[in-house]
Structure 1
Amino acid sequence: MVSNPSVSLPPHGGILLLDKDEGWTSHDAVAKSRRAFGTRKVGHAGTLDPMATGLLVLGAGPATRLLTHLVGLDKTYTTTIRLGIATVTDDREGEPTAVADSAAVAAVLANPAQIAAEVLALTGDIEQAPSAVSAIKVDGQRAYDRVRAGEAVELKRRPVTIHEFEIAAPRAATADDGTAVIDIDATVRCSTGTYIRALARDLGAALGIGGHLIALRRTAVGPFAVTDAGTIEQLMSGARAEVLEPARVATALFPELRFDAQQTLDLGHGKRVNVGDVPDAKLAAATNPDGVLIGLVEVSRGRTRVVTNFPTVPNATEAGGAA
């Protein structure tokens, strides 16, 4: 246990919506949350770069068992793409690797239809090579460690889906060193595993002038919005902690099956439960008579199979285990 918690965690844990500030790592957010809740059992459902702000979804206590089912949710971002400069990290924190001449930048700015066409080409089901400076492992070593050691790293392309890539009007801008660039504000809704930095890189490459991100904010993870989240400072002070009951989260994502007392007991013992004329489902949220989440189950032909059980009272292992 972590001493002196500032926030009381329900016995069955909870899902925390956190609005991360720029400069914080996702690891920082987890460490602060452990202290706030007084438990080491805290994990996250997807990281954010230190430069990025916005929604982090964390789990605390037994509710961390839900996180594996949240990682794959679609994400929504607002971002600003800067065209005219490519960087080693595909964002503003990296050193420039190429700078376009002002005439080329001006020609792209004068042709917004070309920009829109390349944005459209990056929408839908696409193949994307993740940014070289990422946590993906190559032969057992993080890609960003290889880049920092001076290696040229090119990661394999992988399928992702860009459900929405909406841009505002491109505008002329000037980088800190006086370089002429184009800035574009955008909203992106995408599948998990998408690198928004790579979208900026690929858009710039397609237009022949390079590109990178200068701002990134995650506004939603599945049905959960950053407008419903609190900050790390509010969490640590106990002023505000947006902790969702596991049942509220599970039933927002999956159909609910309300079990009676005997069914609840049987499910807790890992038994298959007869649920009658219920539609088949790959995942359903099983709740007890009080509405507390007791498990995620698969339903087939009127019978359940336990996918994940959720204890309602943490034991010593749950409270003290590492995330």
Structure 2
Amino acid sequence: MSDIKKLNGFFLLNKPTEISSFWAISRARNTLSETLGIPFKQIKVGHAGTLDPLAQGLLLCAVGKSTKMLSHLLLSDKKYIAELHLGEFSETDDAEGKKSVPDYKQNKINSIPELSEIKKVLDLFVGKIQQTPPQFSALKIEGKRACDRVREITEEGGRNKNGSEFTHNDILEIMKTKNREIEIFDIKFLDYNYPKLKIEVHCGTGTYIRSLARDIGEKLQEGAYISFLERTDVGVFSVKNAVHHNDITEKNILQFEASAFGESFSSLYLQDENIIKRFEQGQKIAFRDLDFANKENGKTQKKYEENNSHIQHVLLWAENKQLLGLGELKHDILIPRKIIS
């Protein structure tokens, strides 16, 4: 049996379609339990960013105490391969939902968008834009996920099965109030054979590709929904290096490196054993007690001085490059925020 206390790090999971992210994680935990001889309930696994059941691709997962860092990996940019089906809208913005032809498409039913027009529309969505989440999403409406609210609504009268007063229109209006600014770094055209349009999207955190498909369809005066979606990258990690949930082993569990967190995080390397012990015990550490002779530490010190003596997120590492946790540099004090060592 492996030592559960030493089971820390991350692994890359290649989720297939037709299963939820939760189910894929559960199966990975079960596989680790069987191969390592550790009880299922003792293995803690989390992931950075849910994939819809109809989507496939990369789930960035962490195990053990490393799950504490997942919220920061959620900030990583992502890449997707998306296939849009033009000519119709979907209630769920993907192939699963009830389809409808928009009114403006009814008047030009035999019209097919030119590739030049499509490329111009795609360019409109590159940059910082406002996006309305799909009504089938995990965002909460009065304590319950929006997708669960929609599923509860009956066809007769559009009322909720348990007697609440939400209708489809209510939920659509509520989702409009949850508009958020997202950033799309690039949209690459890959293929077009009407009604199928294939693109690659490089985007920031919080982007809904289903909403992007819907909005592209509106701009084209066509309607559109996602018929295929694969997440290929999360930050520096690629689906090419991911494994199926039935194939995960201890060898697939890797240790974090600074590059995993992107350029938005500074790093400090702690060499003194007493300083490391104090950090692990959650004690505040005076700036003067840190060693800035290290090249990376020198960069962090310079950034600290340029940012008015404050850096919110600092990764703390032991000299052997083991991740110790996350801290905050503020007014010449290192404050431990998350400890994973």
Q: TM-score range by the shorter chain?
A: 0.7 to 0.9
SS of match in other structure, 1:244? coil
Q: CA deviation at 1:69?
A: 0.9
Q: Which residue identity does 1:170 align to in structure 2? A: Y
Contact 2:132 2:211 in 1 (8 A): yes
SS of match in other structure, 2:101? strand
The 1:117–1:249 alpha-carbon spacing in structure 2 relative to 1, beyond 3 Å, is closer
Which residue of structure 1 aligns with residue 20 of structure 2? 25
Q: CA deviation at 1:302?
A: 5.7
Which of residues 149, 154, 167 is equivalent to 2:189?
167
Deviations 1:2-31 (A, max 9, x none): xxx8x8867051111101111121111221
SS of match in other structure, 1:170? strand
Which residue of structure 1 aligns with residue 308 of structure 2? none
SS of match in other structure, 1:232? coil
Q: Distance in 2 between matches of 1:213 and 1:306?
A: 43
Q: Distance in 2 between matches of 1:21 and 1:302?
A: 48
Which residue of structure 2 aligns with residue 268 of structure 1? 280
Which residue of structure 2 aligns with residue 244 of structure 1? 254
Q: CA deviation at 1:81?
A: 0.8
- Tell me whether 1:192 sits opposite 2:235 in the alignment: no
Q: Distance in 1 between matches of 2:27 and 2:57?
A: 16
Q: Distance in 1 between matches of 2:101 and 2:186?
A: 28
Which of residues 239, 243, 263 is equivalent to 1:226?
239
Matches within 5 A, 1:134-153: 134-148=137-151, 149=153, 150=158, 151-152=167-168, 153=171
- Greater mean alpha carbon deviation, residues 240-249 or residues 281-290: 240-249
Q: Distance in 2 between matches of 1:302 and 1:141?
A: 43
Q: CA deviation at 1:112?
A: 2.3
The 1:302–1:117 alpha-carbon spacing in structure 2 relative to 1, beyond 3 Å, is same
Which of residues 272, 280, 283 is equivalent to 2:313?
283
TM-score computed with the length of structure 2 as normaliser: 0.78
- Greater mean alpha carbon deviation, residues 285-294 or residues 245-254: 245-254
Matches within 5 A, 1:24-173: 24-38=19-33, 39-98=42-101, 104=108, 106-109=110-113, 111-148=114-151, 149=153, 150=158, 151-152=167-168, 153-154=171-172, 155-156=175-176, 157-172=179-194
Q: CA deviation at 1:79?
A: 0.9
The 1:215–1:258 alpha-carbon spacing in structure 2 relative to 1, beyond 3 Å, is same
Q: CA deviation at 1:99?
A: 6.1
Number of residue-to-residue matches in the alignment: 293
Q: Distance in 1 between matches of 2:191 and 2:326?
A: 45
Q: Distance in 2 between matches of 1:128 and 1:289?
A: 43
- Tell me whether 1:299 sits opposite 2:294 in the alignment: no
Instruction: Point out the structure with the larger helix share.
Output: 2
Q: Distance in 2 between matches of 1:308 and 1:257?
A: 14
SS of match in other structure, 1:134? coil
Contact 2:47 2:70 in 1 (8 A): yes
Q: Percent identity?
A: 30
Q: Distance in 1 between matches of 2:207 and 2:321?
A: 35
Q: Which residue identity does 2:320 align to in structure 1? A: D
Q: CA deviation at 1:283?
A: 2.4
Contact 1:250 1:285 in 2 (8 A): no
Q: Distance in 1 between matches of 2:244 and 2:5?
A: 20
Contact 1:272 1:305 in 2 (8 A): yes
Unaligned runs of 5+ in 1: 173-181, 312-323
Q: Which residue identity does 1:262 align to in structure 2? A: N
Q: CA deviation at 1:43?
A: 1.2
Unaligned runs of 5+ in 2: 34-41, 159-166, 293-297, 305-310
Q: CA deviation at 1:36?
A: 2.8
Deviations 1:247-290 (A, max 9, x none): 46657664432212122112122221432452324323212233
Q: Distance in 2 between matches of 1:305 and 1:282?
A: 10
Q: Distance in 2 between matches of 1:59 and 1:211?
A: 35
The 1:29–1:241 alpha-carbon spacing in structure 2 relative to 1, beyond 3 Å, is farther
SS of match in other structure, 1:233? coil
Q: Distance in 1 between matches of 2:81 and 2:231?
A: 7
Contact 1:44 1:59 in 2 (8 A): yes
The 1:41–1:309 alpha-carbon spacing in structure 2 relative to 1, beyond 3 Å, is same
Contact 2:16 2:56 in 1 (8 A): yes
The 1:207–1:252 alpha-carbon spacing in structure 2 relative to 1, beyond 3 Å, is closer
SS of match in other structure, 1:34? helix
- Tell me whether 1:308 sits opposite 2:330 in the alignment: no
Contact 1:108 1:207 in 2 (8 A): no
Q: CA deviation at 1:241?
A: 5.3
